[in-house]
Amino acid sequence: MKTLDISKTNYKVSDFLTWQKAGTLVLSPSFQRRPVWEPGAKSYLIDTVVRGLPMPIIFLREQKSDLTTFEPKREVVDGQQRIRTLVSYIAPIFLKDLNQSRDVFTVKRSHNKELYGKTFSELPSETQQAILDYEFSVHILPSSTDDREVLEIFARMNATGVKLNDQELRNAEYYGEFKTSMYKIASEQLNRWRTWQIFTENNIARMEEVEITSEFALLILKGLTGKTQASINKIYKDKDPEYPECAEVERRFRLIMDTIDNTLGDGLKYIPFSKKTLFYSLFAFVYQCQFGLNSPIEKLTAKPVSTDIVAKIKLIGKRLQNKTAPEKVLEAATRRTTNIDSRRTLFNYFLDEAKIG
């Protein structure tokens, strides 16, 4: 059985730039061609580098030294889009196949307000230095590694048997205003997701708290809807280039979460609203109390939630828990709880019990 002698090291961004300038870096091996990244993905990468956050390993393969220049060559077998993005941002002149419309970009405001719209040369010197000094973890395959072996390596790396869920797929596809906002405000509530026991650590690792946050944004923007992946995908796509309602949606989301925490707090996990499908109904009801469904997305003052309303919420929770609520309500709470009819049934039950319209 053949054993590969893989070297493991770190290289700075400046190392890749030096090799690219010298012509000793092969960015596009024929067996590993992939689609070019969208500007949003490139912007997100630059922000990741500036913040010093880790990224997946870069894989290089050594090539035989050039007999004329005596220079060793390195082939990028995984990570070419990351390297190309950095080269095109820092020194696009180093790309022999530079395409202005494809390669030239700047950082989006939603990713980094300080870097927004600036080219590399316009950045403060300390920021430029931070980018150049950023280190990638790199695995180097020996030149004797053939294409078949490289492909087998990646097949083994991806052979986890875990299929990406819908939110993980959205995370890989979108990099614009809406996605950035959803991940930000979902992560702000991390302690609450855990304390209220709405999500397990595995749920959070699979980005399920981001998905329900996206549903709440959809509720604020569009009113009560059923949960379909198509509708969530559509809001990500529609709001990817521009998301003018961002600040107001974020404000309302935070305020509703604060209200739930201040009125129910740790006790939430002892009533059925810790079940994420019923938590949606609770959020929708509190939102109705404070802003009203289908209210215009403008700066509105939130109405207070009275102690009587809080008492009604707790009573509804007990009735659902003890199965003393009406049969159609219990059915809606246990079957197809993401269906629009079930959501309306639960929402109307809240309204009827609380005596509000």
pLDDT for 326: 94
Q: What is the spatial distance between Cα 49 and Cα 105, in angstroms, rounded to a whole number?
A: 16
pLDDT in tens, the chain (357 residues): 467 788 999 999 999 999 999 999 988 765 555 557 888 899 999 999 999 999 999 999 998 777 777 788 899 988 999 999 999 999 999 998 888 888 899 999 889 999 999 999 999 999 999 999 999 999 999 988 888 888 787 777 766 667 889 999 999 889 889 999 999 999 999 999 999 999 999 899 899 999 999 999 999 999 999 899 999 999 999 999 899 999 999 999 999 999 999 999 888 878 899 898 899 999 999 999 999 998 889 888 999 999 999 999 999 999 999 999 999 999 998 876 788 999 999 999 999 998 765
pTM of the model: 0.79
pLDDT for 70: 76
Which residues share a beta bridge with 12? Answer: 135
Domain boundaries defined on the chain: 7-157, 166-354
CA distances from 118 to 4, 112, 318, 333 (A): 43, 11, 56, 51
pLDDT for 18: 96
pLDDT for 172: 85
CA distances from 57 to 8, 77, 83, 149 (A): 10, 11, 12, 18
The residue among 314, 318, 324, 248 whose CA lies nearest residue 285 is: 314
Enter the DSSP assignment of 73. Answer: E
For the record, the structure tokens of 140 come out as 């180097």
pLDDT for 335: 77
For the record, the structure tokens of 195 come out as 């304390």
What amino acid is encoded at 32 in this protein? Q
In degrees to the nearest 10, what's the CA dihedral of 107, 109, 111, 114?
80
pLDDT for 211: 96
The residue among 83, 73, 105, 107 whose CA lies nearest residue 34 is: 83
| Beta strands across the sheet bearing 7-12 | 7-12, 135-141, 58-63, 73-78, 25-26
Judge contact between 170 and 40, C-beta under 8 A.
no
Please write down the HEC assignment for all residues of 263-283: HCHHHHHHCHHHCHHHHHHHH
Note the Cα 43 to chain centre separation in Å.
14
pLDDT for 30: 57
